């Protein structure tokens, strides 16, 4: 009788550990899937925004770059697209956007253009 109880306890413990491990794996998998999707979305939006800037479609480029900033507020490349768009449109706010680019990128060379 004692042996039967021990078998049942081991079986329940194995089942508990298995279920707990599956829940943990699913949770981690879901987190990393969302993170990977967000990184892909940022890359895709930045590629599209840069292409739109090169085509001269500054309004749409700025919208895509702003979407990137919603996903990652510290993305210097998205702020760079906004700064280029504002500068090309002759907006005075371009100066502030370029300042923000230098803040976000750690003052990397080539971030500020001369007019």
Q: Please name the residues in contact with 97: beta carbons below 8 A apart, sequence gap of 6 or more.
A: 79, 82, 83, 86, 87
Range of the domain at 79: 2-104
User: Domain total for the chain?
Assistant: 1
Task: Kindly state whether residue 26 falls inside one of the protein's structural domains.
Answer: yes
Which pLDDT value is given to residue 108? 52
Which CATH number goes with the domain that contains 93? 1.25.40.10
pLDDT tens-digit profile of 26-39? Answer: 877 777 788 899 99
Task: Kindly state whether residue 110 falls inside one of the protein's structural domains.
Answer: no
pLDDT tens-digit profile of 60-93? Answer: 999 999 999 999 999 999 999 999 999 988 999 9
C-alpha span between 33 and 41 (Å, rounded): 12
């Amino acid at each position: 009788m004692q042996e039967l109880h021990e078998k049942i306890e081991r079986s329940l413990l194995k089942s508990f550990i298995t279920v707990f491990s599956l829940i943990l794996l699913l949770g981690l998998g879901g987190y990393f899937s969302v993170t990977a999707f967000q990184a892909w979305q940022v890359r895709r939006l930045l590629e599209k925004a840069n292409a739109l800037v090169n085509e001269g479609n500054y309004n749409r480029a700025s919208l895509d770059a702003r979407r990137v900033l919603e996903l990652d507020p510290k993305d210097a490349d998205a702020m760079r697209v906004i700064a280029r768009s504002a500068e090309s449109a002759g907006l005075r706010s371009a100066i502030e956007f370029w300042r923000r680019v230098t803040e976000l990128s750690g003052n990397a060379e080539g971030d500020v253009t001369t007019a």
